Structure 1
């Protein structure tokens, strides 16, 4: 299976008043171009830092990050931003943080597409995600799980190559989390590359590849 990301010896450090703190260290990992890859581990293990590296928000302090063969660690900020705009969709933990509350459901999809300079058909995306008939609704009319499902829809509207999600079920009740899990299964069936941080065992079980981290180190990949 081809890889969309290749990481070799990647490390990230943060400067704090108490000194330099290492977020991740010596991470070597290949991410396949389709299926779900889960970054698993307890709080503080480095999984969110690693997701930021993969999302091209956090340049590595050391090591090499390649996306579709290009060395993104050596790129300038503008070039990384352009790659993010064209290829990556990011979903945050808290569903409302992913959406524009002053826009309708359909207009959120249109805005996401415009941000990537593409067009979309909101009704088609909503139908794919089981949100038929909600295009004219306010965001607040959706449940938490439906909002998170719409956030994934915004990534589809942007025609993202890779979808990254940081603990997408952590703020949801079980029924709402089920909607997110169903959405991830749909994305896998559509051959997307999905990168997810989680300690939700049900979500981890969806992973074609699970990378477990502890104290900033990669413990295992299975």
Structure 2
């Protein structure tokens, strides 16, 4: 069994601006365990969302390397990176509606997510795990923000992703809706699903099995 699902080695990310180059992430080295909940914690602007994009293979780092399941990705073509993301990585965004197909019902969202990864969705099984039994025919618009975000994690389960990454998944939710997402994250961690979350939500951070703190793009000691 692979001990770490994702690894970063001396990763740096620079952006060009009219005022010159800006370093968003500087020389970050970390290992993401193959099970449980890993949290990238830090205030807004600390670099955690940038780091999450690098981990999800959405963004290439300016320097350093990223490994997925022990495989280096630095020399992969853009097409090969897309294929890896499609098959192995599920990314949940902070706005619930951005994660779902609004004109499809709940069951069809799960089926579409699975099909995109070349898999078949076990709709009722996933909904049971999410605490949303009997909702397969619901319209997404009929769900609360917390239920929608919980369904987004369900789409990751339907895809049988190797790792699930989420960017501030509770930041756009009220307290009761956020509670639904926290319950889902805790359940995924108990089941050994590797989940990586960028967040400054103290309740979410408290659930972490592994925590990395970022300040100004650098891992805090």
TM bucket normalised to smaller: over 0.9
Provide the residue aligned with 1:74 in structure 2. 75
Kindly report which structure 2 residues correspond to 1:38-77, keeping only aligned pairs within 5 A, or say none: 38-77=39-78
Aligned-residue offset at 1:67: 1.2
Distance 1:10 1:157 in 2: 31
Distance 1:74 1:95 in 2: 33
1:83-105: CA deviations, max 9, x gaps?
Answer: 11111111000101100001001
Structure 1 gaps of 5+ residues are none
Aligned-residue offset at 1:68: 1.1
Alignment RMSD: 1.0
Provide the residue aligned with 1:151 in structure 2. 152
Residue 161 of structure 2: SS of its match in structure 1?
A: coil
1:192-211: CA deviations, max 9, x gaps?
Answer: 11000111111001111110
Provide the residue aligned with 1:140 in structure 2. 141
Provide the residue aligned with 2:105 in structure 1. 104
- The structure 1 segments of at least 4 consecutive aligned residues displaced by more than 4 Å after TM superposition are none
> TM-score, normalised on structure 1?
0.97
Provide the residue aligned with 2:185 in structure 1. 184
Provide the residue aligned with 1:88 in structure 2. 89
Distance 1:190 1:77 in 2: 32
Residue 151 of structure 1: SS of its match in structure 2?
A: helix
1:37-91: CA deviations, max 9, x gaps?
Answer: 1000011100000000000011111112111111112211111111111111110
Aligned residues: 220
Deviates most, 85-94 or 60-69:
60-69
1:157-207: CA deviations, max 9, x gaps?
Answer: 111010001000001111111100110111112211100011111100111
Distance 1:135 1:4 in 2: 31
1:126-150: CA deviations, max 9, x gaps?
Answer: 1111111111111011010000000
Distance 2:108 2:188 in 1: 22
Provide the residue aligned with 1:173 in structure 2. 174
Distance 1:42 1:85 in 2: 30
Structure 2 gaps of 5+ residues are none
Deviates most, 72-81 or 193-202:
72-81
